[in-house]
Amino acid sequence: MPSVSVLTWLCLGLSLTLSQANPQLNLPTPQPEVFYNGYTPNVATTPAQLRADRDRDQRYGPPYADAGGGGNTDDGLDDFRYGQTSDERMRLGYAYPSPRVNFSDSPFSGDRFSNHNYGPSVSSSTDRSYGNDPSLNGRFADGPISTQGERNYNPNDQYNYNNNPNVEILGINNRNRFENPYLSNQDRFNLNQGYLERQRYQQDRRYQQELEKLRNLLVESDQKGSLECTANVAAQWNFETNVNDFTQTEALNAQQRYVEFQRITAEQSKRINKDLIFDRRLYRQLMLQSEVGPNALPLDVLDRYNRLLNEMLFLYNSAGICAYQQPFQCDLHYIPHLKDIMAKSRDWDELQHTWVEYHRKAGRGMRDSYEQLIDVMQDVASVNNVTNGGEYWYLAYESGNFRQDMDIVWEQIRPLYESLHSYVRRKLRDYYGPDRINRIAPIPSHILGNMYGQSWSNVLDILIPYPGRKLIDVTPRMVEQGYTPLLMFQLAEEFFTSINMSAVGPEFYRSSIFEQPLDRRVLCEPSAWDFCNRHDFRVKICADINQRSLISVHHEMAHIQYFLQYRHLPKIFRNGANPAFHQAVGDAIGLSVSTPRHLQTLGLLQRSLDESSFDINYLFTMAIDKVAFLPFALSLDNWRYDVFSGNANKRTMNCHYWNLREKYSGIKPPVLRSEKDFDMGAKYHIPANIPYIKYFFSTVLQFQIYRAMCREAGQYIPGDPRKPLHQCDIYRQPAAGNILKKLMAKGASQPWQEVLEETLQDGRLDGSALREYFAPLEEWLRLENLRTNEYVGWNYDGDYCKRSIETAGLQIFGGYYNGGERQGASSSLGILFFWICFYFGTLLI
């Protein structure tokens, strides 16, 4: 018996030793397990409905999930850069009764003529009143679409396009809804075809009378919408500038009333047959007015949509973890604790612990809710007459091939990113050691100074090309010269008036908030506010006296200038040409304000910094923020496009996300992930269901706008080393301001492609401007990578995510996951050996 006992213990000890072994074997890289099922290049996506930006009219709400309001903030300046317009932090969806509208026979009646844009008509059994306002009661029933009995339509009538095959201008099946109606040879209304039929309509007296009534009605609707919008924005302003229970309740009530008004207006607009409207501007106004997004859902589905978002946001806001090696300190939340740890810690194990635990707490619990949201998004697409949720997600950009278009733009920028990525990988490898970072593999995401690896600015101390050259920081000079928040806004106003743009007026200064008041709580996130009345524009910011606030103030003033330039338009057009334009314009101004030349003009720099080392450091700090951000933004919303459209299976969506991160970014998770995880849920915009692609778009577009202004001002000449793009300052250059004024003044009245064509002479998003801006840095990176023999790009070095949960969470070193796989294999071998020993031990007994 003693010998048996000894044998058993020896076997047990050897099996445990085998299970813990982790030899550093140089195993070949396994072939990737492909979960990605993307689109096929050169094949157009399914057509979706023409749509323009509705951010200002359709708030992302309910805006205030908690009394403090701070739970809805994410990365702050990481995501919103230098601020946002007043609507960008709110999500869409309210459970309000659906209006029922009664329509009569008319050339524009949806009951008589099918509307191919919206499918089946809405029930028209009863009239619907809007509150106590008699001006809207039955408005569309008695308005320009209610001339009953004036004309009988028959199958032989030339005006009955359902029975006239020659009327191509009204053909439902022949029209591509994504064809640009504003190009001369590609008209949504096919105005170049069926000319005689169109002319007959336009010459018909009754048709002209009805059309004039419709125009008058839209004017009245626009005036009413502006009043409702003003009341809503005022309530939101009162809450954000004086946070308490009363103002929060008032803000929510105002939001409900406004969304109710929008639902009624949208339903009424849908009933109008837009196929008989040949005025492009009028048609676009009606189309945009008809858009209501998730609010078009049936009430029970809309309630489910809101409930799912609230459940996920609760998990996001409440996610807390225990501190590294401190199991009794378990109250660390993303803001302020974990964000600070990821930015400042240089301990590999602490960063990994923080990353893994936060993604587990914030994301894993909401996976089931998000899978349900994917199904609801199909309903959202259906009620908006779009094929699937993926097409709906990119609807605001008015392109049938938007995803492919953005991939083309990314391919323009990718060579610069790969050079930057290779340089950063080498610097991190030198810091953390080659046993943890392989020279040809993707970079683990937890060591980049940010929870999501979207910006690398926080590890600048490791990455900076010339450590001996100080970065430009004019903060001490600003303090020394007595700068105040008011003075910074006055300088920003003077910047815009110097380029032939508008002064903001005294009302702006009386109404805006530039500093944190001492007598009440204010939500200090920088934001610009349009009160929808063409004269009241405000900024809310708690400005500090530093260089970043100086740039942020100019950014917010750019939003105010945008409001001023398009205030003459109908309310539905008072917005950017697409959701990215406002941000892009503000950032383009920031590029000029942050140049050493402009800071010298302000007297904040005393000498010229002409050395190339200063230039490289300056461009590098910009690149690790702006260029590094692009693939993250693209992969995040392309992932949502794929899961909403069904290109990615819900059972493999976490692995699909990491495949996209590796494909676009060359980034991988610090540990092996599984389909039990839901890593995207740790990013606020996922549970809040807020689109993210606009940040990719705006980051690229800002350089395109900046280049056009600099060329017009003569500050940038391609190929001239004396006038590089990154040194351009448009201050006191009216020619540059005229371009910006023209772009802003169009608002959302035209598709963004046409706006760019008419203002920048380039009707597409173009990544070449960004490459030109960073050209000196790109050349420096090329030579530096050659000097160090660095591998440019990255190779897929093993699975980053498995469907099986048993293998999740294994550690990786040296750029390969083989260590984790070896550990799993040796564990299995140890267990097998133990059972063999146990079996023979039993026989001996």
- Catalytic amino acids? 556, 685
- Provide the strand spans (E) within 287-384: 320-321, 332-333
Task: Calculate the dihedral angle through the C-alpha atoms of 51, 55, 57, 60, rounding to the nearest 10 degrees.
Answer: 120
DSSP 336: I
Q: Cβ neighbours of residue 390 under 8 Å, at least 6 residues apart?
A: 45, 640, 641, 642, 643, 644, 645, 646, 647
Tell me how far apart the alpha carbons of residues 323 and 327 are, in angstroms, rounded to a whole number.
6
Is residue 653 within 8 A of residue 390, CB to CB? The reply is no
Among 774, 780, 777, 815, smallest CA distance to 798 is for 815
Tell me how far apart the alpha carbons of residues 599 and 495 are, in angstroms, rounded to a whole number.
12
DSSP 47: P
Give the β-pairing of 667-668 and 320-321.
unpaired
Give the β-pairing of 673-674 and 320-321.
unpaired
Give the β-pairing of 320-321 and 332-333.
antiparallel
3-state secondary structure string, 385-415? CCCCHHHHHCHHHCCCCHHHHHHHHHHHHHH
Tell me how far apart the alpha carbons of residues 286 and 181 are, in angstroms, rounded to a whole number.
14
Tell me how far apart the alpha carbons of residues 747 and 575 are, in angstroms, rounded to a whole number.
5
Among 624, 635, 737, 732, smallest CA distance to 686 is for 635
Structure tokens at 205: 């007296």
Tell me how far apart the alpha carbons of residues 293 and 295 are, in angstroms, rounded to a whole number.
5
Structure tokens at 630: 């692009």
Burial class (CB in 10 A: 0-12, 13-18, 19+), 26: exposed
Residue burial 722-743, b: 16+ Cβ < 10 Å; e: rest: eebbbbbbbbebeebbbbbbeb
Measure CA of the first residue to CA of the last residue in the chain; give whole Å: 7
- What are the distances in angstroms from CA 735 to CA 588, 723, 739, 766? 15, 17, 7, 22
**Reduced to 3 states, what is the DSSP secondary structure of residue 557?**
helix
CA angle 425, 430, 435 (to 5 degrees): 85
Structure tokens at 526: 């920088």
Tell me how far apart the alpha carbons of residues 123 and 103 are, in angstroms, rounded to a whole number.
10
Is residue 76 within 8 A of residue 89, CB to CB? The reply is no
Residue with tokens 């844009």: 117
